[in-house]
Structure 1
């Protein structure tokens, strides 16, 4: 006896389909993971260590090279024409050979200005082609003032005395003016500093002086300073 066959029920379309959108919790999880990845990338870019400076040239000891450079400058001061200049702690002290008037930034003697223009080019020659080549970073011109009078006045006076040296070297209006090449190097290497009576020593007259402080690179592989337009040297700012 044949049984009565009943038609099989077709599954509804909704039962066989999976939902298209992910759940809200999965969406939040995915966004959180994306946020964490972005934060990690940002932190890595911020905290990435800066590249270390290039190592010194093989076989070149900075201390030995700098000492040789200073030795050449010291030997220059032993010449009869420059006797009296003292080199100590990488500083060139003109001592009594170059002095300023009391309370002024003008030179004490008429020949002081010519003496500076005679000596500094010899130092520049050493800086370019001697043991100093590639090692000399800058020359800071430090003027000094005595401990008599007001502190701020002396502080400004010491800076003006430093500036006076730069004016002397950069002027193009004198017969003994430095060459164009030397004036460019002065403008590139030299900076005006200033020291008041907080670094005083000796008598007030001994403090009316100037020093050239030599600063050196730690290694010879460095970027060259950018060139700037040369001052024509037509006037000195502190002449006003």
Structure 2
């Protein structure tokens, strides 16, 4: 009787090899897909950062050009006006100082205000100004004499007086502002008291008023300046200059 050749013993792993090969292929495909998604995400994030960085550089350059142009025109208009483009502030030197316990500017300070306002409005209506100009915060400062609350009230009186002087009918006529420009003044300028913060080298120099220019950020659309108390005057008849 012819015997059949003996069967070779079956390896236990042979039945499992197709499964493990398929599982390994699946894991490899998932890993490749994960890497593709990660690379795509990183590229998108990198592109977004590059766009925002370029946008911020363009914004800073346009604001710098706007301020530099304003500074040049202000210097030609009135020697007392100083535009600081590093801090985006406008001051009037000694002309912008107040007397002790007084909240009214002298004639030179009033003249400096009269000269700077049309230039600020012109800057706000320029192409760069329409994009970035947010508001002008009128900041009144005091010396360190007296209590904090007293000086806070006095500094607010000073900024309010400046704001009211911009809305006074006589000042409007002197600045030759039309109805549209008068509305722009009411929209742009805000009064804010800051007491004796940022004191100067002397008490006389500390009793002053400054205009702080504020600009929109890249993602900012509307809103008021933050960090300072504000007071907006829209009705000139509420003002008392005397």
TM-score over 0.5 for the pair: yes
The residue aligned with 2:102 is: 104
CA RMSD of aligned residues (A): 2.7
Residue by residue over 1:54-78, the C-alpha shift from the partner in whole angstroms, topping out at 9 and shown as x without a partner, is x88x978111111111111211232
Instruction: Rate the CA distance shift 1:186–1:164 in 2: closer, same or farther, 3 A.
Output: same
Shift of 1:194: 1.6
The residue aligned with 2:217 is: 218
Contact 1:147 1:197 in 2 (8 A): yes
Shift of 1:170: 0.9
Residue by residue over 1:92-147, the C-alpha shift from the partner in whole angstroms, topping out at 9 and shown as x without a partner, is 1112122222111112x234323312221111111102532321011111111011
The residue aligned with 2:79 is: 83
Q: Kindly tell me the number of residue pairs found equivalent between the two proteins.
A: 178
In the TM superposition, structure 1's runs of 4+ consecutive aligned residues that sit over 6 Å from their partners are none
TM-score normalised by structure 1 residue count: 0.65
Partners in 2 of 1:171 and 1:103 — Cα distance?
A: 23
The residue aligned with 2:237 is: 234
Secondary structure in 2 aligned to 1:157? helix
The residue aligned with 2:198 is: 199
Give the number of the structure whose alpha-carbon radius of gyration is greater.
Answer: 1
Q: Flag structure 1 segments of 5+ consecutive residues without an equivalent.
A: 1-54
Shift of 1:180: 2.1
TM-score normalised by structure 2 residue count: 0.64
Contact 2:74 2:116 in 1 (8 A): no
Q: Does 1:162 align with 2:159?
A: yes
The residue aligned with 2:139 is: 142
